[in-house]
Amino acid sequence: MKITILSVGSLKERFWKEAVLEYEKRISKFCKIECITVEDEAICENPSDKEIEGIRQKEGVKLLKVLPKGSFNIALDLKGNALDSEELADKMDSIFSYQNGHICFIIGGSLGLGRNILDNVEYRLSFSKMTFPHGLAKVILLEQIYRCFKILRHEPYHK
């Protein structure tokens, strides 16, 4: 089993980096985990819709270049499916058991993901209708992945 987290833009705040490292360490007891970050595109102060989509597409091209071959790809998307922790655990278990042993979660930049990514994933996941800062979204994702492994092993963390 392997999980890859692809994301746009590096984490600048130390507290987000520390939280990410902590959850990577916890998850590594259950599966191989890899976090890959691509550089975000510069954004002008008031971008037009065309400029926004252009940035999303450029960031998408960067993500596609490092997208693992043969992985089951899940995009974090405001318009995706909202699952509770148990449902996400079941989804991950099903992917690992019946589809393949590699899940890749994709986190977009501050403008979200472009069509070139959203049209090429097997699943879209939403944490909420709310928008979260990039660092927080990554930490929430990692915490939920860790929680899923604990749920699947019937361990008490998720209570």
> How far is the C-alpha of 106 from the C-alpha of 138, rounded, in Å?
10
Query: Full-prediction pTM beyond 0.85?
Result: yes
pLDDT of the chain, 159 residues: tens digit per residue? 999 999 999 999 999 999 999 999 999 999 999 999 999 999 888 989 999 999 999 999 999 999 999 999 999 999 999 999 999 999 999 999 877 789 999 999 989 999 999 999 999 999 988 888 889 999 999 999 999 999 999 988 755
Q: Which two tokens stand for residue 56?
A: 């999303």
pLDDT at 158: 59
Domain residue spans in the chain?
2-158
CATH superfamily of 2-158: SPOUT methyltransferase, trefoil knot domain (3.40.1280.10)
Beta strand 102-107 pairing with 72-82: parallel
